[in-house]
Structure formats: C-alpha cells, structure tokens
Amino acid sequence: GGGGGGGGDGGGGAAASATGGATVVTCTAPVNIAVVKYWGKRDTKLILPINSSLSAALNMNDLCTTTTVVVSDSFDRDRLWLNGKEEEVTNARVLACLNGVRRLIDGGTTQNVHIISKNNFPTAAGLASSAAGYACLVFSLAAAYGVTNTATPEVLSQVARQGSGSACRSLLGGWVAWDQGEKDDGSDSGARQVAPASHWPDIRIFVCVVSADKKETSSTVGMQTSVSTSELLAHRATAIVPKRMQDMEAAIANRDFKRFAELIMKD
C-alpha cells in the first residue's frame, strides 16, 4: 500500500493546444475517499443521493485518472478509449456527461470528440475509479469546448454527478462535501469545498490493495439493494447523517483527529 497525502487538488491542471483545426486538452483528476459515505439514491437517473457525504481528494501523484479530449470538425462521430480499449459511446452515464457539458456551450456545437482515458490504479476494484474518471471526463470536455470560464466547478460537479455520484466531489480539491439537495431536478445537489488540501497537510491515507480484481457487486447494485431492503439505511440518512456532517466539518476545521477518527468509524 502507498501512503498518499490526504486532500489532493481537485480535477484540473488541464493542458490545451490547438493543432490542425483540432483542440486537444489533457486533464488529471483525483480519487476521493469518503469519510461520511454516500450510499443510496433517491433518483437513479439524475443520481441524487438519499444523504449528504464528505470526502478527501487523494494526492494525484499517487492515484489519478488522466483524460485527453480532442475536439475537431473532422470527426464524424464521438469515440472513447478506456485504459487502451475502445468502448462504444452508448453508456447512458457517459452520454449524460457529454450532453451535459454540450448544453453549457453558448450557441451549441456540432463538433464531435475523441476521448482517451486511463487510470493509474485498478479499475472497478473499490478505489473510486468512476469518481476520478467521470470528474476528469467532464472537466476535460468543459476545457476543450471552452466553457470552464463560464461554468464554475460547482456547476460542472452537477454534470459529473450524473456520471458517477461521487465524481462531483473530485471536481473540487481537498475536503469536499456533496450536499444532497432537495429539488427534484437536482439543481441544488452538488459539491462544495469544506477546506483546501493545505488545511490539514499531515493527514495520510494508506491504501492496501488486497485484490485488484473487479468487484463482484457494483456500487450501483449494492446501493439500490440497501435502499430497497434496509430500514436502518433510511434511518441513517434522515436521523444520523445531517448531524454527522456538521460534526465532521467541525472536526476537519479544528484538525481534531480523535473526533475525526471516531466519526469515520461510526459511519
């Protein structure tokens, strides 16, 4: 296991260039590990959670997704390569992010994209690959289409949330809350930075990989099974988490590791 600094920077660091009528953007985004867990959706299409959550973005020198997006008039269709293998751009969540960013473009666009994404850690093995991946995808697309000057990270987090819920927290760096929101359209469900990475620099998170295999039960299936079968999960969301979020934010603000650790273990 590697010791990565807790609270890395959020999605960003995009490098852009224009070559032969094409715009090329490369971006990295961090894995985030929740200290108050998101578990369960109240809307499975928009990916709206039953409770708020809070996480630390890990140092991108250790774990990250790197995505390159190329936008060009010459492309006849959208294409996607993930970890060296071409995938069909038919996944509903990929399309939600792609269309979500395109809706932010003033005047729209007819340009197609080629997307090349890779993780430097095991995919779908419990290390939040989807969070880093969709955050990276949305930020890269936004930079390539030129909307990062008008769309704030908070707005982009609402787009990334529709790819993977936890992805909204990887758009901002350091300690990040995902406020569950109350509106049916999800317009108030997005990320909010609680503290920057520099706030608590001596935190370390140890990642011990006991298996790099793809997990047998996806988070999506696991969550919805819990929502449909567990009365205790509903109680946690409504009666426990609101106060726990307040307590966790206070523990981080005060750099109170004893309280911080107690809250993580309880959750």
The tens digit of pLDDT for each residue in 74-112 reads 999 999 999 999 999 999 999 999 999 999 998 888 899
Write down the residue that tokens 């709206």 correspond to. 48
DSSP 8-class letter at 112: E
The encoded tokens of residue 164 equal: 């993977």
Q: Are 6 and 255 in contact (CB under 8 A)?
A: no
- Top mean pLDDT of 44-48, 117-121, 176-180 is at 176-180
Write down the residue that tokens 């890779």 correspond to. 118
pLDDT in tens, 32-50: 999 999 999 999 999 999 9
Model pLDDT, residue 10: 65
Instruction: Kindly tell me if the per-residue pLDDT of 5 is higher than 50.
Output: no
Rg over alpha carbons for the chain, rounded to the nearest Å, is 18
Model pLDDT, residue 74: 94
Model pLDDT, residue 191: 96
H or E element in which residue 242 lies:
helix 241-253
Model pLDDT, residue 129: 82
Percentage of the chain beyond pLDDT 70 is 90
* Cα separation, 167 vs 147, whole angstroms: 19
Percentage of the chain beyond pLDDT 90 is 75
The pTM is what?
0.87
* 4 — pLDDT class (breaks 50, 70, 90): very low
Q: How many CA atoms lie within 13 A of 94 on its CB side?
A: 16
- Return all residues near 264 (Cβ < 8 A) that are at least 6 apart: 35
Number of helical H runs and strand E runs in the chain: 7, 14
